[in-house]
């Protein structure tokens, strides 16, 4: 098994990338520092929100899945999805990014 970056360190790096790109970012919910999964809420304000779920391919490569579907959803719908996931997994990180386009800060592809 290959060594993986701890979740807490990965989140700090994401926050730093957002800061460098002048993109607003907030930790909505802190998860397990070592191995907590990560959800990203991309808030496009009037354009709607998307929630990305962190997952891995069989070879261990990090990828993102559009958990709320291919199209933006209203913010309350995104928040409801996040609340359900946090209910199932209290070790889950939730990061909100004030940008509908995550390409500038994500390090893995987004699956549709």
CB 11 within 8 A of CB 38: yes
Please check whether residue 1 lies inside any domain of the structure.
no
48 versus 4: which is more confidently predicted?
Answer: 48
**Which pair of tokens denotes residue 37?**
């999964």
pTM metric for this prediction: 0.88
Any idea what the CATH number is for the domain that residue 105 is in?
3.40.1530.20
Range of the domain at 84: 7-111
The total domain count for the chain is 1
Mean pLDDT, the chain, whole residue set: 89
pLDDT of residue 106: 83
Please check whether residue 13 lies inside any domain of the structure.
yes
pLDDT of residue 2: 57
Name the residue among 22, 31, 23, 76 with its Cα closest to residue 49. Answer: 76
């Amino acid at each position: 098994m290959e060594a993986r970056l701890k979740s807490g360190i990965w989140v700090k790096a994401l926050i730093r990338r957002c800061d460098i790109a002048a993109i607003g970012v907030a930790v909505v919910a802190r998860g397990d520092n070592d191995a907590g999964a990560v959800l990203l809420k991309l808030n496009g304000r009037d354009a709607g929100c998307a929630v990305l779920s962190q997952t891995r391919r069989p070879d261990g490569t990090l990828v993102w899945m559009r958990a709320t579907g291919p199209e933006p959803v209203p913010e309350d719908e995104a928040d409801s999805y996040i609340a359900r996931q946090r209910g199932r997994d209290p070790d889950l990180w939730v990061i909100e990014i004030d940008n509908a386009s995550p390409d500038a800060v994500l390090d893995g592809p987004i699956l549709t």
